[in-house]
Amino acid sequence: MIDQISGYTRFLRALRAQPVDRPPIWMMRQAGRSLPEYLELKKGKNFSDLVNNPILAKEITLQPLKRFDYDAAIVFSDILVVAEMMGINYRVQDKGGVKVDFDLKNNSDLKKITSNNLVKKNNTPEAIKLISEEIKKEKAIIGFAGSPWTLASYIIEGGSSKDNLKSRAIINENPELMLSFLDKITDTTIEYINNQIDAGADVIQVFDSQGGTLSSYNYWNMSGKWIKKIIDNFEKRVPFIVFGRGVHHNWDALINTGANALNIDWNINIKKIADILPKNIAVQGNLDPAILTTKPNTAIAATKLILQDMKNRNGFIFNLGHGVTPNAKIETIKAVTNTVKNYL
Ligand code: CP3
């Protein structure tokens, strides 16, 4: 038996694959649009207004914790703020999806952006400071960034794309151009993460949500090695979680990034992956986000399947296989959370 511990301790122990009383829980995109208090706070403002205001960003970060008492808080921000730091603007559209103003055709486009000489200061570290003052090591604070490839593909496609055809064409026709772009993004991302850690982030998650669109031949050069460069830079100052969505062809590459934990998507059996990974790598996942739109009892059954599968694995964090969707039901999120929290 392990004594009652704080969410902070539970989360960090699980990340280091040490025994815990029960799996820690938080949800990817937990600050999302399913909460009425978020929609209320957002009225009359756009997404950037919220992200760039540390007081509001703190408030939104804490909203889901007040309702569900998760073990960790993920700061309310977006992977696209790194684009903004480099002078590339973006907009979140009311109908969903994002729009990014940039086109990468040749080296002269690269000159339009900046990496060392940041165009715009970013307020996410300031929000982390305020969150940290409020939760006082009771919960872990997760900072984050997109992987360089995932951010590059959003920028090149001009927003959300399911297949990244333009970006994949550039990889093959002009790999040097893509590599220079990734290099610039990586430098900015390192600076951004460094600021988040200085401000109080206990853990960093790198979202390679678009990793699954790369061919297995390209995965390491275009994504894995840049994530490794980021993680190496911090020399284990904080643990890193890597979410490689759809990267089922390349577990070795994900391990080689140096991540302490891998976030598994919902398309694959989490136990099967946990069994092939080294025992010191934690796994996080992997409830299908669609289940949050069903009745509580349906979701409880699906949650128990995962808990049962992972029962004997030290190093397991309960999460979704991707983000909370806007139509997730609050009573179902609650039922899933309580099922994990009461699991022995
Ligand atoms: O998890 C959290 O609560 C923290 C906040 C967070 C957001 N975005 C807030 C957000 C995190 C971790 C992200 C990461 C992010 N953003 C990723 C990687 C993870 C993933 O989901 O794949 C990506 C690819 C983005 C880019 C992005 N930002 C998109 C594609 C969109 C539009 C999404 C849609 O369905 O319309 C956003 C906007 C965004 N980021 C919202 C939130 C809460 C919606 C804002 C709103 O409409 O009010």
| pLDDT for the residue numbered 126 | 97
Cβ distance 63 to 38 under 8 Å?
A: yes
In degrees, to the nearest 5, what angle opens at C-alpha 105 toward C-alphas 99 and 110?
A: 85
Mutate to test the pocket of ligand 1, among 66, 78, 131 (most ligand atoms within 8 A of CB): 78
Cβ distance 132 to 200 under 8 Å?
A: yes
Residues with CB under 6 A from ligand 1: 28-33, 42, 47, 74, 76-80, 92, 96-98, 144, 146, 160, 207, 209, 323
- Compute, in angstroms, the gap from residue 225 CA to the centroid of ligand 1: 24
Tally of residues, the chain: 344
Looking up tokens 């302490």, which residue turns up? Answer: 260
| pLDDT for the residue numbered 118 | 59
Contacts for 147 with CB less than 8 Å, ≥ 6 apart? 206, 207, 208, 210, 211, 223, 226, 227, 242
Ligand 1, atom 21: nearest CA belongs to which residue? Answer: 323
Looking up tokens 């919220």, which residue turns up? Answer: 50
Return the CATH number of 7-341, one of 3.20.20.210, 3.40.50.1980, 3.40.462.10, 1.10.1140.10.
Answer: 3.20.20.210
Three-state secondary-structure class, residue 198: helix
Contacts for 202 with CB less than 8 Å, ≥ 6 apart? 8, 11, 12, 140, 141, 142, 238
pLDDT by position in tens, the chain (length 344): 555 899 999 999 999 999 999 999 999 999 878 999 999 999 999 999 999 999 999 999 999 999 999 999 999 999 999 999 998 989 998 888 899 988 888 888 888 886 555 556 789 999 999 999 999 999 999 999 999 999 999 999 999 898 999 999 999 999 999 999 999 999 999 999 999 999 999 999 999 999 999 999 999 999 999 999 999 999 999 999 999 999 998 999 999 999 999 999 999 999 999 999 999 999 999 999 999 999 999 999 999 999 999 998 999 999 999 999 999 999 999 999 999 999 97
| pLDDT for the residue numbered 125 | 97
> Which residues does residue 208 pair with via DSSP β-bridges, in sequence order?
244
Q: Are strands 90-92 and 98-100 parallel, antiparallel or unpaired?
A: antiparallel
Contacts for 120 with CB less than 8 Å, ≥ 6 apart? 84, 85, 87
Cβ distance 41 to 59 under 8 Å?
A: yes
- Compute, in angstroms, the gap from residue 165 CA to the centroid of ligand 1: 21
Dihedrals phi, psi of 201, to nearest 5 degrees:
-65, 130
| pLDDT for the residue numbered 115 | 57
Q: Which of 335, 252, 328 is nearest to 289 (CA)?
A: 328
| pLDDT for the residue numbered 93 | 87
> Rounded distance, CA 231 to CA 227, Å?
6
Cα of 112 vs its chain's centroid, Å: 28
| pLDDT for the residue numbered 160 | 87
Mutate to test the pocket of ligand 1, among 29, 39, 53, 128 (most ligand atoms within 8 A of CB): 29
- pTM of the predicted model as reported, rounded to 2 decimal places: 0.96
The first and second tokens of residue 263, run together, are 């976030």
Cα of 80 vs its chain's centroid, Å: 12
Domain chopping of the chain, boundaries: 7-341
| pLDDT for the residue numbered 4 | 81
| pLDDT for the residue numbered 272 | 97
Cβ distance 63 to 31 under 8 Å?
A: yes
